[in-house]
Amino acid sequence: MSNNKKGAKELFEEVIDQRLCTYCGACAGGCPYLVSYEGRIVVLDKCTIPEGKCYEYCPRTPTDINAISYQTFGEAYKDDELGAIREVMIARSADDHIRKRAQYGGTVTTLMSLALEEGFIDCGILAKMSDDKIPGSYLARSKEEILQCAGTSYVAYPLLEALNHIPEESTEKLGIVGTPCQVLSLSKMKQDPPQNRVNIGNIKLLIGLFCNWALSFHEFHQFLRENLDLPKVIKFDIPPPPANQFDIYSESGKTSLPLDEIRRYIMPACSYCLDMTAEFADISVGSAEGIEGWNTVIIRTKAGEDLMRLAKAKGALETEILPDENLAHLKEAALNKKKAALKNLVERTGNRNDFLYIYGLSEGITDKFLENK
């Protein structure tokens, strides 16, 4: 593993200027120099510290996947398409009110509400859309506030900047809902916890969201502004293939745009991401393709298992077995993402053994994920 003790200067040289930034927010808000603003990481002033947490925690700077796997699951990183799994199922909220507001089955909203109610956590860090449908990070401390965060914008947002703003002395127990890159960054934070700001030990729950890619705020939002009355939009959705469309639900009904028209706004950084299912979360949640109104749920850690068990016991969630056919389909999709990412990384580095920022993959794994050896 190469020297990853670098600072803001290298973060820009190696990540941001290279269009590898995922806009996760890990580098922002932890110091007075880097902040997020309208889809960009902005340097307010020059920092002279040669070794910065901004560089260290970035999900696109050198990352030892194997070490993170050991830290999270006590075992080496394997070639499983979906990462470490305790249990897979489909689930949906038992609460109609939540289901109505939620993207699919309302599982994330329900789990976060329950965690808050049961005292697992005191505060949730989630993405919330503004009236103009701009996603931003939000600290939710009540069920109602969590419900306000339901639904996805498909746009990248700097969630972790809000985490960085939490002062060191805070003892609030935190639950975070994040995308795979955000979860990866949090794993890096756990490896070498930050000083002088949020106590990483306060994070008690990490719910990962399935993610194929995210859209870049700046261009996409301009496109939306020009084409829609954003405050009237209720929900965005990408229905499962073969639909190949981007649906916008508003007070006046549904509008569908060809997905290919949307694809040009995908963050370039997403094509180098191996992780579709947020493999280092406690629980990962996504849509259940073909099973309308339900979520696919992957339980990965004991904390995740405990919460899920409680949710079932309390009747907050209804669960069913994920049909084999759906599981196979999910695995295929996850594998395809890994293959594409590794191919793109190798193309970028020009070296079959150099995956730019990913370290610690065994040869067996890279063989499986890298086609055409």
Q: What are the residues binding other proteins (CB under 8 A)?
A: 30-33, 35, 37-38, 40, 42-45, 47-49, 51-53, 167, 194-197
Query: Among residues 44 and 76, whose Cβ is nearest to other proteins?
Result: 44
Query: Among residues 51 and 371, whose Cβ is nearest to other proteins?
Result: 51
Residue 17 CA to residue 12 CA, distance in Å, equals 5
Residue 67 CA to residue 76 CA, distance in Å, equals 7
Neighbours of 163 (CB within 10 A): 28
Question: Shortest approach of other proteins to residue 53 CB, angstroms?
Answer: 5
Question: Shortest approach of other proteins to residue 196 CB, angstroms?
Answer: 5
Per the CB < 8 A criterion, the answer to whether 24 and 179 are in contact is: yes
Query: Among residues 38 and 96, whose Cβ is nearest to other proteins?
Result: 38
Question: Shortest approach of other proteins to residue 37 CB, angstroms?
Answer: 4
Query: Among residues 13 and 45, whose Cβ is nearest to other proteins?
Result: 45
34-37 vs 87-93, strand pairing mode: unpaired
Comparing CA positions, the residue from 124, 123, 149 lying closest to residue 135 is: 149
Query: Among residues 38 and 226, whose Cβ is nearest to other proteins?
Result: 38
DSSP string of 90-115, one letter each residue: EEEES-HHHHHHSSSS-HHHHHHHHH
Per the CB < 8 A criterion, the answer to whether 159 and 127 are in contact is: yes
Question: Shortest approach of other proteins to residue 59 CB, angstroms?
Answer: 18
The SS3 of residue 44 is coil
233-237 vs 317-320, strand pairing mode: unpaired
Question: Shortest approach of other proteins to residue 176 CB, angstroms?
Answer: 20
Query: Among residues 54 and 299, whose Cβ is nearest to other proteins?
Result: 54
Question: Shortest approach of other proteins to residue 6 CB, angstroms?
Answer: 12
Place of tokens 């200027």: 17
Residue 362 CA to residue 367 CA, distance in Å, equals 9
Query: Among residues 29 and 286, whose Cβ is nearest to other proteins?
Result: 29
Beta bridge partners of 177: 207
The SS3 of residue 360 is coil
Per the CB < 8 A criterion, the answer to whether 20 and 11 are in contact is: no
Question: Shortest approach of other proteins to residue 98 CB, angstroms?
Answer: 35
